[in-house]
Amino acid sequence: MSQSEKSSQVSPTTRLAIIITIVAANMLALAATDLYLPSVPYMPEIFGTSIEAVQFTLVTFSAGFAISQILFGAAGDLWNRRWVLVGSLFVFVPASLWCAVSGTAESLALARFAQGFSASASAALTVPMIKPLFDEARAVHAISVIGGIDAIIPAFAPILGAWIFSQFGWEANFWVIVIAGVPLLIAAVIVVPDDRPESHHTSIWPVLMGFFTLLKHKRFMGYAVSHGFSLGGLLAVVFSTPTLIVTHMEGGPAEYVYSQIMWVSVFLIAANTTGRLMRRVTADQLIWIGNWIQIASALALLIYAFLFPVHWLGFALGGVPYCIGLGLRGGAGFSRAIDAVPAYGARASSLIIFFSMGLSAVGTGAVAPFLDDGVWSAGAAMLIMSLAALAVLPLIKEKAGGS
């Protein structure tokens, strides 16, 4: 049955309920970290531990999110995606409860790993589950809209998180996830229909082996790893910014929120200009241009941090070009990576997210020991990651069938 035939069998009301449920699951997963970030600078005092230990709670979430992408990407190409999503929520809600009742940084780090591990299913399954609900043209539009919704979570979730923290304490940010997650889990069981992938595989091993094929495909790896470094450089700084603002810039949660709004806004503006820009340049050229803008931005931020007293607004403005570069290259890089291996769509998407979140975890962990030393650590992370993104880009010049 074709995609258009499948979509015609779903009533508009049912389609809307399915979309709301799936998108809400993805939004809740994204909010799991963004609600918590404004609390991070104050957690060392609360737990009586170091900032490195608290930053590790961000690392473990990203690591769990990255690792499970491989499993959920394979499961989504093999089993009923409805029950893969429901199963992940059955873990996500108790894991969020575990976060809320954690009494030490070590316990919270373990809970955050479980939370991140289970949160990633919605990211891996959103596109494959929503695409069949529309014909091809409307599916592209729907996915673009969902991408825009996902992009604004990092801007507005910290606002809510900062208010919740100030009124009720850090635990309340996780209780919000639990309270929202329970009805969402029930809705997923009731509303989301069976969604069986069109696959000839009967066991997970051959599906997992497909990842090894992707790892050997040089052109795909060039796009995917470069995208991962590019996004990872930003997320490593985003995860470190609340502490940097409090420690070195005489700011607090409000200044972090303002920075996030600024960065997300320019990212969205840049991303929305790519359609017009691609009338003049190719997608590959756009990736290179975006990467060079990121390198210049990181270098400028690093020089600023070394030579001048850093104000939070100057820091935020220093990150603006990096976000513009990501907006220009992000969509093009993700799309070109998928185009390089059209037979591995879901697994290719999962592997790209794996690289992005895995490198975010590595970057966040690498920056953590230097947060007390100054803001230069953020500029250094951006510069190293953007240079690494550039270093692997020559792989995309391989022929499409090359490995």
Of the candidates 210, 200, 195, the residue with the CA atom closest to the CA atom of residue 3: 195
So what's the pLDDT on residue 13? 77
So what's the pLDDT on residue 219? 92
So what's the pLDDT on residue 152? 74
Which of 3.40.50.12780, 2.60.40.1840, 1.20.1250.20, 3.40.50.300 is the CATH number of 203-403?
1.20.1250.20
pLDDT at 30 over 50: yes
Percent of the chain's residues with pLDDT above 70: 86
So what's the pLDDT on residue 391? 96
Mean pLDDT over each residue of the chain, to the nearest integer: 84
So what's the pLDDT on residue 367? 92
Of 400 and 249, the structure prediction assigns the larger pLDDT to: 249
* Pairs from 203-208 (Cβ < 8 Å, separation ≥ 24): 203/78, 204/74, 204/75, 204/78, 207/74, 207/77, 207/78, 207/347, 208/70, 208/74
Of 257 and 388, the structure prediction assigns the larger pLDDT to: 388
pLDDT at 5 over 50: no
pLDDT at 342 over 90: no
Of the candidates 345, 126, 340, 361, the residue with the CA atom closest to the CA atom of residue 228: 361
Identity of the highest mean pLDDT range in 19-23, 138-142, 216-220, 394-398: 216-220
pLDDT at 288 over 70: yes
Q: Which two tokens stand for residue 201?
A: 């595989």
So what's the pLDDT on residue 351? 87
pLDDT at 137 over 60: no
The model's pLDDT over 159-205, given as tens digits with 9 standing for 90+, comes to 899 899 989 999 999 999 999 999 989 988 887 777 666 655 566 67
Q: How does residue 4 score in pLDDT terms, banded at 50, 70 and 90?
A: very low
Question: At 236, which amino acid appears?
Answer: A
Give the mean pLDDT of 83-99: 90
So what's the pLDDT on residue 149? 67
pLDDT at 403 over 50: no
So what's the pLDDT on residue 241? 92
Q: Which two tokens stand for residue 70?
A: 């491989």
Give the mean pLDDT of 125-140: 64
Q: How does residue 147 score in pLDDT terms, banded at 50, 70 and 90?
A: low
Give the mean pLDDT of 129-147: 61
* CATH 1.20.1250.20 domain residues, the chain: 9-190, 203-403
Look up the pTM and report it: 0.81
Of 209 and 99, the structure prediction assigns the larger pLDDT to: 99
Task: Find where tokens 């990096």 sit.
Answer: 322
- CATH node for 9-190: 1.20.1250.20
Q: How does residue 123 score in pLDDT terms, banded at 50, 70 and 90?
A: confident
**Collapsed DSSP state (helix, strand, coil) of residue 10:** coil
pLDDT at 43 over 80: yes
Of the candidates 401, 26, 31, the residue with the CA atom closest to the CA atom of residue 218: 401
Task: Find where tokens 């690392």 sit.
Answer: 59
Of 393 and 350, the structure prediction assigns the larger pLDDT to: 393
Dump the DSSP string for 184-251. Answer: HHHHHHHHSPP--------SHHHHHHHHHHHHT-HHHHHHHHHHHHHHHHHHHHHHHHHHHHHHHSS-
Q: How does residue 401 score in pLDDT terms, banded at 50, 70 and 90?
A: very low
So what's the pLDDT on residue 95? 96
